[in-house]
Amino acid sequence: MCMPEVRAECFDPTLLYAFNSVVDCESNLTFHSHDFTEVKIVLSGNFTYIIDDIAYEVGKGNIIFMRPGVKHIKVISEGVQVEEFNFGLGNFQIKNLPPNYLIEPEADSVYSMPLYLPEIIKCINETISEQEKNEPYCDLLIKASILKLTALLYRGMSANKEKSEKARLNITNSEKTNIVNTILQFLSQNYMKQISLYRIAHNMYLSPVYISKIFKEETGESPINHLIRIRLTKANELLSSGNIPIKTVARNVGYEDAYYFSKLYKKYYGIPPSVEKRTNTYS
* pLDDT tens column, 33-87: 999 999 999 999 988 888 887 778 888 889 999 999 999 989 888 888 999 999 9
Mean pLDDT of the chain: 86
For residues 222, 224, 229, 235, the Cα torsion angle rounded to the nearest 10 degrees is 180
Say what the pLDDT of residue 165 is.
57
Between CA 208 and CA 168 the distance in angstroms is 12
The Cα 167–Cα 242 span in angstroms is: 48
**Do 76 and 49 contact (CB within 8 A), yes or no?**
no
Residue-level pLDDT at 150 = 96
Question: How much is the average pLDDT of 172-191?
Answer: 85
Set out the domains of the chain in order of their start, with CATH numbers: 8-163 (2.60.120.280), 171-283 (1.10.10.60)
For the cut 90, the answer to whether the pLDDT of residue 136 exceeds it is yes
At residue 283, the pLDDT reads 46
